[in-house]
Amino acid sequence: EVKVSAADSAAEDMQHTANVTDDLFGSLTFNIPYQVIETMQASRYFMAALAATIDEPDKKSFNYTVPISVQMYTFISRQPDEVSRIYLFAAPFTTEIWGCLVVIIIITAPVLYFINRLVPMDHLRITGLSTLNSCFWYIYGALLQQGGMYLPKADSGRLVIGVWWIVVIVLVTTYSGNLVAFLTFPQFQPGIDYFFQIFSSSAMQQFGLRNGSYFEKYATQITTRDDFRDYVQRAIIYNNVQGEDIGAVQDGKRINVDWRINLQLIVQKQFEKDKECKFSLGRDNFVAEQIGLIVPRDSPYLQLINDKITRMFQMGFIERWHQINLPSMDKCSGHGGMRQIMNHKVNLDDMQGCFMVLLFGFFIALFILFIEYWYRWYFVEKKRGVFST
């Protein structure tokens, strides 16, 4: 349609009429119908407003205009699955940070204990911090910002607690900020982002390619990339929507190669239907296909048409038409994806790790309770029985 719009604009300026027919509707840009070629050879029409791939212009019996569009090729695949959020609460820190945190708790508790015990004045010693166990729980409670019942009276002990609180503030602030980011921005498993990764996925069983596409010629006759040739050799050539088999792509068993705007249209329709992102487009554009109009070989109007097309590009008309009428960028990225992120509500998937920690704590508490009962029975009751005898 952009080609027809360009033709209408040029025809209006040059006082010609544009005759649009649907007899050849659905024809591909690379394989130009023979009816059009015969018409151009006979010079029966001023210009064919047909999207045609500019390919080997010196060998054609007609002329191409300057490109009115450049279509890039990419591929469409299934959106990678989201990473399990069961360990989301631990995601803000790396394993090394968690390990260091455990170590500094183990170190700080004995330091506080010994400093409290080594205070030279008896009145400065705190009874509540006189055991290593009490110091450990005080340090752990301070890490959770719960504080404690006792505070060292000696300046040496207060200095230890003061420095520990500074560490706690930094840790908690960093953890909270990163946790918000992990809750807001979901993480996905590694997917297929670039063409060279296509054959490395064992889940891919099919490869699709639109019939008569310029990519097929480019891969077999022009480029030296072996992965392009391998793809064309393995590809299932399709002519219609049924052969496109988007369902297999959604299931993660197939990859299709086509114009990026065509694939963006698929993503847009699916997103508007399900309000969910199920497809992913490749990050790289690996083939550029120039699209132009065709005119008779000896047409005196070729330069005039080229000037009009160039002028429309310079004034931004064609770019503006693309923005209004062609499918927008991937709905699952950019403003569309950001809107999903901003509207995200914390759900059970986000909090399941927290509940599992609580459940794990209950089991640990019951296990410790069992040990306490066993200790009372083995040491206290047994010794009481020995003394009674």
Instruction: Pick the last residue of a domain from 165, 184, 203.
Output: 184
CATH number at residue 126: 1.10.287.70
* Residue 26 pLDDT > 50: no
- Annotated binding residue 213: yes
Contact 209, 216 (CB under 8 A): yes
Q: Quick: pLDDT tens for 103-157.
A: 998 999 888 888 888 777 776 677 767 788 888 888 888 888 776 677 777 888 8
Instruction: Pick the last residue of a domain from 152, 184, 216.
Output: 184
Kindly state whether residue 194 falls inside one of the protein's structural domains.
no
Kindly state whether residue 355 falls inside one of the protein's structural domains.
yes
Kindly state whether residue 171 falls inside one of the protein's structural domains.
yes
Q: Quick: pLDDT tens for 188-219.
A: 777 888 888 888 877 788 899 988 888 888 88
Length of the chain: 389
Domain holding 153, by residue range, is 92-184
Kindly state whether residue 129 falls inside one of the protein's structural domains.
yes
Kindly state whether residue 115 falls inside one of the protein's structural domains.
yes
Kindly state whether residue 147 falls inside one of the protein's structural domains.
yes
* Residue 102 pLDDT > 80: yes
Say how many Å lie between the first and final Cα of the chain, rounded: 105
Instruction: Pick the last residue of a domain from 184, 210, 226.
Output: 184
Kindly state whether residue 234 falls inside one of the protein's structural domains.
no
Give the chain's domain count.
Answer: 2
* Residue 24 pLDDT > 60: no
- Annotated binding residue 53: yes
